[in-house]
Amino acid sequence: MRILIADDEVLSRRLLQKTLERAGYEVTALENGRLAAEQLCKRDGPRLALLDWMMPELDGPGVCREVRKRNEQSYVYMVLLTSKEAKEDVVAGLESGADDYLTKPFNAEELKARLRTGLRILELEDRLVEAREEMRFKATHDGLTSLWNRGVILDLLGRELARSRRERVSTAILICDLDHFKNVNDTYGHPAGDEVLQATAKRLLSSVRSYDFVGRYGGEEFLVVLNNCNPAFGLARAEELRKTIAQRPVQTSSGVVPITMSLGLLLSQEWGFRPLEELLQEADAALYAAKEAGRNCVKVAKPSAPCDIRDPRVEKAAT
């Protein structure tokens, strides 16, 4: 564990450093408060600090105040070192943001025990952060496939569309649906159906670029967003996805399950400034057409009339 010591008095600093190194800490020893605050405010700075009260440039409570001003970063556990005569200042010290204080000259055992308290607090924080991250993941991802969930993929698509319009490029929207998935569940059982969905998710993820998005849209429906996708290659990319799914059956615990997928493709640039909901409806209609055409194929959603590529909002403002 790293710890920062700030004390302008060299003897005291040396004593602290040695005591803590012996206790297994990795010590950074500094001689003034300003340097200490700089180190502690860094994103990956030490999370434990032992600060002398009286220091040049910035005193211990001053360091505490600076550190507490940061937000959304790991907690820094700070212990102030004060002399016995200044006990009435303890309240002020704690109110500056210090977690604890220790009177000088310190007792090595007490010092180590108090720092262990700090370590417990930091461990607690780590566990809470870990739990929060887990919750965040669960709130944004589909439990079965670990793909983005419906809410998030739609949100990402909305943002991507806005960006592609700004940058005058095209986003490809693909609604993909496993063919005859109900039969899979009925024939091989639901656990095998789940395995098929998981395998499908993996195959989709492995065949898109790292900056594309794949989400679970519904039961056996997936939404793939290909960012900045050249319209000339949109269909070819969709075909690749289709082949990746169909090229080999899925090995499940209930046997080998052959799968295919139907896809509805929409290239945003061909549709001008139509709202997201309409684009999804059109892509869904293309998917329906692919199903009608015998499944295991891609159909492209085409606007009936050439679209007006001018921004309707700009148009309105002009007239």
Partner 1 sequence: MKDTDKESPNSTFDPEELLARVENDRELLQDLLMIFKEEFPGHLQALREAVESGEGKRVVAAAHALKGMLSNLAATQAAAAAAKLEQLGRNGEVSQFQEAFALVETNALRLLPKLEAYIAEVHK
Please tell me whether residue 85 binds partner 1 under the rule CB under 8 A: yes
Cβ proximity to partner 1: between 10 and 309 the closer is 10
> Minimum distance between the CB of residue 159 and partner 1, rounded to whole angstroms?
57
> Minimum distance between the CB of residue 112 and partner 1, rounded to whole angstroms?
10
Please tell me whether residue 180 binds partner 1 under the rule CB under 8 A: no
Residue with tokens 């909305």: 158
- How far is residue 169 from each of residues 27, 59, 162, 225, measured CA to CA in Å? 52, 55, 10, 13
* The one segment of 38-46, 77-85, 199-207, 302-310 that binds partner 1 by CB under 8 A: 77-85
In the set 2, 65, 70, 104, which binds partner 1 (CB under 8 A)? 104
Please tell me whether residue 15 binds partner 1 under the rule CB under 8 A: yes
> Minimum distance between the CB of residue 28 and partner 1, rounded to whole angstroms?
18
The closest alpha carbon to 201, from 128, 261, 158, belongs to 261
Please tell me whether residue 87 binds partner 1 under the rule CB under 8 A: no
Cβ proximity to partner 1: between 111 and 204 the closer is 111
* The one segment of 17-25, 117-125, 137-145, 284-292 that binds partner 1 by CB under 8 A: 17-25
Centre a 10 Å sphere on the Cβ of residue 75 and count the other Cβ atoms it contains: 17
Centre a 10 Å sphere on the Cβ of residue 121 and count the other Cβ atoms it contains: 16
- How far is residue 229 from each of residues 58, 143, 235, 267, measured CA to CA in Å? 54, 29, 10, 8
In the set 54, 90, 94, 122, which binds partner 1 (CB under 8 A)? 54
Cα 220 → chain centroid: 25
Please tell me whether residue 11 binds partner 1 under the rule CB under 8 A: yes
Please pick, among 220, 278, 292, 315, the residue that the annotation labels catalytic: 220
Our answer to whether residue 110 is catalytic in this structure is no
Q: Where are the beta strands (DSSP E) in the chain?
A: 2-6, 26-30, 48-52, 77-83, 100-104, 172-178, 213-216, 221-226, 250-252, 255-257, 261-267, 298-300
Would you call the peptide bond into 105 cis, given omega within 30 degrees of 0 as the criterion?
Answer: yes
Please tell me whether residue 14 binds partner 1 under the rule CB under 8 A: yes
Cβ proximity to partner 1: between 56 and 191 the closer is 56
> Minimum distance between the CB of residue 156 and partner 1, rounded to whole angstroms?
57
> Minimum distance between the CB of residue 39 and partner 1, rounded to whole angstroms?
22
Q: In 3-state terms, what secondary structure has residue 105?
A: coil
Phi-psi category of 24—alpha, beta or left, where left has phi over 0 and alpha has psi -120 to 50?
left
- Residues engaged in binding partner 1 (CB under 8 A): 8-12, 14-15, 18-19, 22, 54, 83-85, 104-105, 107-108
Please give the positions annotated as active site: 220
